Structure 1
Amino acid sequence: MTNSVYTATDFAQGFLETNPIAAFKSAIAAENQDLKRRFSPDRSPEDLLNEKARFIDKLLSASWTHFLGDAANKQALIATGGYGRGELFPHSDIDILIILDQSYSDAIQDRLSSFANFLWDIGLKPGLSTCFLDECVAFSSQDQTVFTSRLEMRLITGNEALFNQLKQEIINTPLWSSERFFLAKMEEQEQRYSKYHDTAYNLEPNIKEGPGGLRDIQIIGWVFKHHYKARSLKELINYGFLPKAEYDSLVASRDILWRLRFALHAQTNRGEDRLLFDYQRDLASLFGFVDKEGQPDVEQFMQFFFKTVVDIERLNEMLLQLLNERLISSKENLTPIPITANFSSIAGYLEVSSDDVFQKNPLALLEIFLLLQQSPSLKGIRASTIRLIRKSLPLIDDSYRRNKDANRLFIEILRQPRGITHQLKRMNRYGVLAAYLPDFANIVARMQYDLFHIYTVDEHTLFVIRNLRRFALDKHSEELPFCNNIFLLTPKPDVLYIAALFHDIAKGRGGDHSTLGETIARNFCQQHDLPAHDTKLITWLVRHHLLMSMTAQRKDISDPDVIHTFALQVGSIEYLNYLYLLTVADIRATNPSLWNAWKDALLKELYISTHKALHRGLHNPVARSERIEDNKKEAQDELLKLGISPTTIDSSWRHLSEDYFLRYSADEIAWHTIAIAACTETELPLVLLRPQTQRGSAEIFIYTRNEAQIFSICTATLDQLGLTILDARIITTADQYVLNSFQVLEQSGEAINDLHREIHICNALREGLTSKQVKVGKNIHKQSRQARHFPIETSITFLDDPTHQHTIIELVTTDRAGLLSTIGRAFVELNIQLYDAKITTIGSRAEDMFYITDRESSPVDDDSERQRIRDTILRHLAQAER
């Protein structure tokens, strides 16, 4: 076979070659290579898609004739789905249907099996179904997905009469009424959207299946073509569904997705439809994006993609609504029912009373969303009015934004008891939010290129507001009851929503987005005449929206001094309530998979401790000595109740430092004391595990003679066991025993809930500490596929401890398997004592803090010694990467 334009004769000749499979594989590879060579990211690949379909037609026709022989013309070989439409991407599956003639026999079955096997052998991945005509009709009548695939079938070769009969039975006979088919496709789309969290703004979106993807366009086509027996989407213009300009926009958006999908197939050499991190940078370059100041090429590329799919999502909403009116609604339902002077209701959707409503009264561009909130029976905005809103966006100019009536309407939307999230999302989708808040326009479809933020900034912002709204609703109270209870204490929920709206509004501008956002929020509050108290609270929340999460995750919140400092920053219980709710909503909207019982308990503990401090009074803080004595007394009372004698308690505690009684709760102290008292010297190391603590994690407690490599052995073992270390507390007694605690979760974020797993973890740790080495084995701690695309530049900073007892090392680097054990080995080489560790992982970013001293238990103040520590840690990290 030649490598030019393939004909049916070329393929027929291919079966005469010594190795037909190799010949056909070579032909397919050559065709794909030729398509890839001719593909341009600047042009629609429609011709290339059609050409690939024709190429496969010829290949299948020759193969059909070769394997079926004299039975080839009695059966029908039919293309369905995208292949049936003639839209075949380089590595798409080949969907084909074989309709059998009544003369079918076992001999034909053998030939068909050989035919199918050959297609697999040459790498075509056929989606193949075989049935008799009556079976095909029956399947199509029972299953809408089967029926859908038959709507676009096309005869490749074989029995034309059989194909025409099938076409008559399926397409021209109403197996599915227009209404029933429409409702089935709506349910299918709803399920598909749910799979992608009802947002097109995912970090690794699916070009085909995601909201706003190619499937959204195909659903429009299927419903429209089924009802009107139309041959192409262009007939949407003729039937009055779209003006030509909007049809051109739909086709342009479809072509962008086609170009992206074609490029993905060409780049990956497989049927890949996901815009994974692995491919985004190369595609950004291919499509001509280059780095600009403050905006990398890949962020621009993804913003270009997101704006495309949002346009498709909006057109999908409009067209399906119009189809719903034509196919389902009765004429009575389409009779306008006046709502206000500007709006009527038609089939449950708001419609302008005349086409010049927005020109005559621009305030109606906001009023319409307020009406939807106040009238829950309304389903949305009618397609023609959505179109008019989009056309009228230029009316929202600077003078409009300064209009006090417009300001009042916008604040009124945020103060409604229902529909806030839905209407803000709708305002964003139609462009009204970006028009009214120009600063918000800067974050629309803006991707944050890291693993922590899985949504675009605008979508994340709206998810934060949604989460805050859920705190107010009884039906969601079981999710986070503590948040629901605190929400009841906030007199002005709209203050929370405004703070959420502005907390990330300055992302992508360079500089501290919290500080810049504070200024933007203040200007908004002053323009909208908010009370001075509300303005002060909103701007403070925007400025400090990261304060609580950073304090909880990076500082020792068992220390009264840390709580007092945080309480001073917060200042009042009112501010604490608002900040706590905003913090929880923000974390859960950033990346739901990163929210777990540990973070929930940590933030709750910080809230409760701070609430007590504020209630007690900032002028009267809890002294460390007071906290220590309280913990000791509470633990002692608990131990005495359990029958532990005062002598045993004193013996177990005699060498413990005050730091121990400060940093552990009474419950933990009692648990440790019982275990230590029952343990003899020969039984060391003592390793205990509690699968569920008050913080929602498992606690692993180790008591043994002090050895330099204990931290490294423990962390390496836990890492190999696939556990995520959330926190580490290291206590060394005066007589050189260590009490180490690790708070851990399974890598999935779940608690440890299997007894055999608990025993295995304890045994592995005990074995490692006894042998002074980590058992070599397969490390089941997996680094995510995405993490390698986000290398974090390693930085090591030395911080002074406010207590002047330790030196604090802050390490920022890429999270990886074995990171903590690598640091532990560096500390052993440096002869450093480790007293505490705060472990924080944000996506692929590790932000860990280590409290250290030298071997004489003194802080490390010498600059040259600090440099030696930095160099040693960097060397160990580099060696671990090899």
Structure 2
Amino acid sequence: MTSETPRRRRPTPPRFDNAWLAELLAGRDPLPQHLRAAHKHGSSRLSELATAGASAAALVAARSRMMDTLIRALWRRNLGRTRGLVLAAVGGYGRAELHPCSDIDLLVLAEEKLNDRRAAALEQFFTEIWDIGPDVGHSVRTLEECRQAAREDISTATNLIEARRLAGSKKTFEALQELAFSDELWTSRSFFERKLEEQRTRHAKYHDTAYKLEPNIKESPGGLRDIQMIGWVAKRHFGARTLADLASYGFLSREEHRRLVEGQGFLWRIRWLLHEMTGRHEDRLLFDHQLRLAETMGYEDSEHSLAVEQSMQRYYRTVMELNRLNEMLLQLFKEAILLEGDPRIQPINERFQLKNGYLDVVDRDVFRREPGALLELFHLLQQHPEAEGVSAGTIRLVRQHCHLINEDFRRNPDNQALFMAILREPQGVTHEFRRMNSYGVLGRYIPEFGKIVGRMQFDLFHTYTVDEHTLFVLSNLRRFALSRFDHEFPDCSRVMRGLPKPELAYLAGLFHDIAKGRGGDHSELGASDALRFCKRHGLSEYDARLVSWLVRQHLLLSLTAQKKDISDPRVIHEFAEKVGDQLHLDYLYILTVADVRATNPELWNSWKASLFSELYQNTSRALRRGLVNPVAREELINETKRETLEQLDSAGINTEAVRGIWSALPGDYFLRHSPSEIQWHTRALLEHGDSGKPLVQVRRETERGGTAVFVCSPRDDLAFARSTAALEQLGLTVLDARIVSTRDERTLYTWVVLEADGEEIESAERGREILRVMEQEAGRLGGDPRDIRRRMPRQHRMFSTPTRISFADDERNDRTILEITTGDRPGLLTRIAGALLDARVRLQNAKVATVGEKAEDIFFITETDDSPLDSEARRQELEQALKRQLEDGADSTSL
């Protein structure tokens, strides 16, 4: 024999030996306390094996065998001599898939109605199972009752298909199995159609995406339920007992079977660990679980990626693959079950055809002969909307030939032209880019995109993985381009359809976050990627640089709108200079709205929409005037006054009285408020008169979105902190705060608020409650702010955001800009206001923004004599006061 290098032996995985349990139960009638101790010991041993690296498949099977032994012992103890009863495991237990806190689902099949003695024995049997430890779900039925229940409920029929005999008559159980697989309950066709509809409904509940920040590993698309769905149909129609049987029937290749089993094992391992960590039946991957799972599974932080982000990327890529396999297998089942007889063939070209309504290759060698067909496939789907999708066999071939998309493929002019044709097609852009991502084509064609597939950011702001977010951006842009969605965002739709080349916006959307996770500035890196891609694909120098500029500046508009005082004409002028012309502004505006909406839909609201629109409109106006001829501050103030006076005069309001009110107001007031707001304030002040008492008004519907709360009171530096505390105690989210000091020693406050969940305040009763509480606070002149007593949301407690404080000079307005980034929490604004009081600082204006778990707030402040904070000593004094207030409340769950 020739000598060979010896192969390294794989370590033998630890195994769960049931012998100790058999010995415990042998030759005796075990008491419940013995079985309880056995369950506890066995569960502990399984936990040790999980820690030692035992496979999830071995663990769930071992736990199932352990429960079989314990439950059979209890059955013998209580009903061992009883005839005419069958004990069967159903559900996950029927599949012999038990996790630490899985329910034990049992069916007792009775040949006839139970007498009192048998009923009492069964009740004792179930009680003793409960006493051992696991949660038990059970039903007791005759065969006829099983028939009736299964006809009415597809879930019951599914349970019968999965039933596994534990004890009792084999003959009676065989009768149950014969019933379960018979057409008198559900035909294969009706069973498949109902289960398919069940899956569609379940996926829709999770917005047809598996990529939410806190996914459900069982119910979300690509989760364990999708694998179970495959098994149910395979058992009912084909009689397959295992996933491996599908391979022998030709439905799965060996490689696909391997991926399916590996994916299932990975999800089982996560589920096992989740149950052990929480001590309950838990299928949600909540943030706190994600951190502990990453550590338990051995992930470590790297330079550009947290351990939790790495582990979650593996999770998302796994469910993406499982979702793809689920789609392919169900399509194969559909062809086998629903599409009987000779297939309907409609030729398209020499490479593709429609087969039974699905796009299909003419032969299996199409992609090998002509790799460009890997892109042509998606273009044809756009051009043939009557196609229901892609045939399962073609999906499999696409996956098998993705490796042909290499550098030569990418440099091929025909393939480049095909990609741009897909992007420019008037319909189906979003659907096909999603399909390209799902089948693995998009990540191969744009390798940089492949790196962000399944990549998550561990925060509350970025709701989706980077690739899923990017595809939502593309979807939002497409909705702007289609007239049937004009009612959603009329301004964006108008701007979008005025663009000369919409595909440039789509390219910017595809590349805007493509460099996430690489380190460095993702906007700069992505801009370079976009420039190279556009030039390679034949775009003109101007168009390529426009796309690159959009990627580099994709955050510019949202940051300007949310962090700067866009009522200041000079801020508008500076922004207009950066944008340069109307075309760049148009592209940037629609990209920004599409991006922010796709980042976290729950944080999008009418207030943000109005901010972005206001900045867009004011910048358009500045560009029309010309950058060398900016709008003068006084000109804008006079224009606002003139427009408001015309409205008041037409309403019969005495203009001389109006000018009397306005004489006490500084010019900044007319910059910070719209004519509609000024008219509302003016009317309220005229009606209130010169009583010297505070004035409070609430307007539930405003042009900027949200509910406006207006307070006019004698100057009192405690008033802001007190009023903000009242708003937060009411459970309101403050979106904006504008403060104006008048020349007659009063202060005008205007807050814009929403409910804590981001919803508009709708009921008149809620509006009256806000008015009542704010009037009480305004009347407590000089009183201290009330404590905030609200619990911090669960998700926010998982994040530790370091507090960052910075100062900048606003020389043009003689004030100081204070920027605070810290963890969001109840009472945050009240604490900040308290710190300003402690440092004897006056608040002039505020821009409030919450980004997931972070608060990023801007405050415009002065000394009490309205001069800026010039000295470093004063700024340090304020910084220390802020840190004292914020650090005192950072660890509190209530304030």
The bucket for the TM-score relative to the shorter chain is: over 0.9
Match in the other structure for 2:612: 603
The 5-angstrom pairing of residues 802-821 of structure 1 reads 802-821=811-830
Letter in structure 1 aligned against 2:724: T
Shift of 1:462: 0.7
Q: For the Cα contact (< 8 Å) 1:11–1:62, is it kept in 2?
A: no
Taking a change above 3 Å as real, the CA distance of residues 3 and 756 of structure 1, as seen in their structure-2 partners, is: farther
- Give SS of 2:856's match: strand
For 1:868 and 1:644, the matched residues in 2 are separated by: 48
For 1:67 and 1:733, the matched residues in 2 are separated by: 86
1:169 aligns with 2:192: no
Cα-to-partner distance string for 1:775-826 (whole Å, 9 max, x where unaligned): 857734x533222222221111111115141000011111111111101001
For 1:259 and 1:867, the matched residues in 2 are separated by: 51
Q: For the Cα contact (< 8 Å) 1:807–1:852, is it kept in 2?
A: yes
Match in the other structure for 1:731: 740
Shift of 1:229: 1.4
Cα-to-partner distance string for 1:832-857 (whole Å, 9 max, x where unaligned): 01100000111111110110111221
1:49 aligns with 2:60: yes
Match in the other structure for 2:5: none
Shift of 1:173: 4.9
Taking a change above 3 Å as real, the CA distance of residues 84 and 527 of structure 1, as seen in their structure-2 partners, is: same
- Give SS of 2:243's match: coil
Match in the other structure for 1:863: 872
Shift of 1:294: 0.7
Taking a change above 3 Å as real, the CA distance of residues 692 and 779 of structure 1, as seen in their structure-2 partners, is: farther
Match in the other structure for 2:482: 473
| Counterpart pick for 1:534 among 543, 551, 569 | 543
For 2:53 and 2:502, the matched residues in 1 are separated by: 48
Match in the other structure for 1:28: 39
Match in the other structure for 2:9: none
Q: For the Cα contact (< 8 Å) 1:79–1:95, is it kept in 2?
A: yes
| Counterpart pick for 2:730 among 700, 721, 732 | 721
Range with greater deviation from structure 2 (623-632 or 46-55): 46-55
For 2:817 and 2:330, the matched residues in 1 are separated by: 60
Q: For the Cα contact (< 8 Å) 2:725–2:787, is it kept in 1?
A: no
| Counterpart pick for 1:700 among 697, 709, 712 | 709
Letter in structure 2 aligned against 1:265: H
Letter in structure 2 aligned against 1:157: A
For 2:622 and 2:718, the matched residues in 1 are separated by: 39
- Give SS of 2:805's match: strand
Q: For the Cα contact (< 8 Å) 1:357–1:364, is it kept in 2?
A: yes
1:148 aligns with 2:163: no
For 1:857 and 1:575, the matched residues in 2 are separated by: 39
Match in the other structure for 2:590: 581
Q: For the Cα contact (< 8 Å) 1:100–1:131, is it kept in 2?
A: yes
Question: Number of residues paired by the alignment?
Answer: 874
Match in the other structure for 1:319: 329
Match in the other structure for 2:20: 5
The 5-angstrom pairing of residues 59-74 of structure 1 reads 59-67=70-78, 72-74=82-84
Cα-to-partner distance string for 1:55-92 (whole Å, 9 max, x where unaligned): 2223333444555576x433222210110011111101
The 5-angstrom pairing of residues 697-776 of structure 1 reads 697-771=706-780, 772-773=782-783
Unaligned 5+ segments in structure 2 are 1-16
Q: For the Cα contact (< 8 Å) 2:568–2:671, is it kept in 1?
A: yes
For 1:239 and 1:500, the matched residues in 2 are separated by: 43
| Counterpart pick for 1:199 among 203, 209, 214 | 209
- Give SS of 1:234's match: helix
For 1:500 and 1:11, the matched residues in 2 are separated by: 68
Letter in structure 2 aligned against 1:60: I
Match in the other structure for 2:573: 564
The 5-angstrom pairing of residues 238-387 of structure 1 reads 238-333=248-343, 336-387=345-396
Shift of 1:111: 4.3
For 1:754 and 1:526, the matched residues in 2 are separated by: 55
Range with greater deviation from structure 2 (114-123 or 301-310): 114-123
For 1:619 and 1:12, the matched residues in 2 are separated by: 100
Match in the other structure for 1:842: 851
Q: For the Cα contact (< 8 Å) 1:462–1:501, is it kept in 2?
A: yes
| TM-score, scaled to structure 2 | 0.94
Note the aligned Cα RMSD (angstroms).
Answer: 2.3
The 5-angstrom pairing of residues 121-140 of structure 1 reads 122-140=132-150
Letter in structure 1 aligned against 2:525: L
For 1:775 and 1:164, the matched residues in 2 are separated by: 74
For 1:108 and 1:845, the matched residues in 2 are separated by: 61
For 2:36 and 2:485, the matched residues in 1 are separated by: 56
Shift of 1:652: 2.0
| Counterpart pick for 2:101 among 78, 91, 115 | 91
Cα-to-partner distance string for 1:558-585 (whole Å, 9 max, x where unaligned): 2222222222222222222221111111
Range with greater deviation from structure 2 (721-730 or 382-391): 382-391
- Give SS of 1:202's match: coil
For 1:66 and 1:708, the matched residues in 2 are separated by: 78
Shift of 1:596: 1.1
1:37 aligns with 2:24: no
1:549 aligns with 2:549: no
Q: For the Cα contact (< 8 Å) 2:718–2:784, is it kept in 1?
A: no
Q: For the Cα contact (< 8 Å) 2:725–2:786, is it kept in 1?
A: no
Taking a change above 3 Å as real, the CA distance of residues 637 and 336 of structure 1, as seen in their structure-2 partners, is: closer
- Give SS of 1:656's match: coil
Range with greater deviation from structure 2 (488-497 or 55-64): 55-64
Letter in structure 2 aligned against 1:535: A
| TM-score, scaled to structure 1 | 0.95
- Give SS of 1:621's match: coil
Q: Percent identity?
A: 45
Cα-to-partner distance string for 1:517-571 (whole Å, 9 max, x where unaligned): 1111110111111022321221121111111111111122222222222222222
| Counterpart pick for 2:683 among 674, 685, 689 | 674
Cα-to-partner distance string for 1:444-493 (whole Å, 9 max, x where unaligned): 11111111111111111111101111122233332223322222212211
Cα-to-partner distance string for 1:199-247 (whole Å, 9 max, x where unaligned): 1212111111111111111111111111111222211121111122221
Shift of 1:718: 0.9
Q: For the Cα contact (< 8 Å) 1:12–1:66, is it kept in 2?
A: no
Taking a change above 3 Å as real, the CA distance of residues 877 and 404 of structure 1, as seen in their structure-2 partners, is: same
Q: For the Cα contact (< 8 Å) 1:804–1:859, is it kept in 2?
A: no
Taking a change above 3 Å as real, the CA distance of residues 491 and 79 of structure 1, as seen in their structure-2 partners, is: same
| Counterpart pick for 2:430 among 405, 410, 421 | 421
Q: For the Cα contact (< 8 Å) 1:216–1:316, is it kept in 2?
A: yes
Match in the other structure for 1:236: 246
Shift of 1:329: 1.1
For 2:478 and 2:28, the matched residues in 1 are separated by: 68
Taking a change above 3 Å as real, the CA distance of residues 735 and 123 of structure 1, as seen in their structure-2 partners, is: farther
For 2:244 and 2:860, the matched residues in 1 are separated by: 68
Cα-to-partner distance string for 1:242-294 (whole Å, 9 max, x where unaligned): 12222122111111111111111112111111111111122112212112211
For 1:350 and 1:710, the matched residues in 2 are separated by: 68
